[in-house]
Amino acid sequence: MAEVILETKGLSRRFEGLMAVDAVDFRLEQGEIRAIIGPNGAGKSTFVGLIAGRIAPTSGTVAFRGRDITRLSAPARVRLGIAYTFQITNIYAEMTVAENIAIAAQSRRGLFGPEAVIREAVARAAQTVGLSDRLSDTAGVLSYGHQRLLEVAMGLALDPELLILDEPTQGLSDGEIDGFVTLVRHLAETATVLLIEHNMDVVMALARRITVMERGRILAEGTPAEITANPAVQDAYLGGMSDPSG
């Protein structure tokens, strides 16, 4: 039986009168690719924000490798091995590709980490996502697809044990999406991957298991075949999956 790398118990977040995440119990096994899907407003991004430490919970707990990390900051979770890429591209547009990746590498290893180690991390991450020939380019002039790849490279430079991807294929062309699917399969050889994704072709191609959220709660979990055949999921989401937000 695979080790549980991440677990939440009763995890909740209330924003004024809205319960965005409502008492979610969730378990993620090491080495799997798990997709979280759900309609607009289901609480998906809030939930992964709670896992990454970018949002504080109203109640409940988050454990990583059996350790309670509920009160740890986002940077502290990064140092433990949790990397989170955003739904909206989050890069330093005026810096080069190499400088962007180096900033991420330093955040895991400390600001004054050995320069050779940082350079190696930059080169390795860039090669993995196919940006080795763009290291000297200014990030802001890259195509949108390459900017998304740069953000993934920044995540990889953290040497994550858990990589969280929030709407990674949003805005990508069909060809870029195909390349991304191949990339995630490669990433899963060394890291556990948790992704929020609205493109069901991508979800079905990548996920071993799927978690469906609705109104801040888990509606269903199962294999792609089980989720596809679930009537409640059909009613809540699969019939209206064109809206990528939430």
Q: What is the pLDDT of residues 52-69, one digit of tens each?
A: 999 999 999 999 999 999
Determine the longest span between alpha carbons in the chain, in angstroms.
54
Mean model confidence pLDDT for the chain: 89
- SS3 at position 15: strand
pLDDT band at 241 (very low <50, low <70, confident <90, very high): very low
pLDDT tens sequence across 217-239: 999 999 999 999 999 888 876 65
Q: Where are the alpha helices (DSSP H) in the chain?
A: 44-52, 74-80, 97-109, 115-129, 144-156, 174-187, 200-206, 224-228, 231-236
Rounded CA separation 28/5 (Å): 6
- pTM of the predicted model over 0.85: yes
The pLDDT tens digits of the residues spanning 135-181 come to: 999 999 999 889 989 999 998 988 899 999 988 888 888 888 999 99
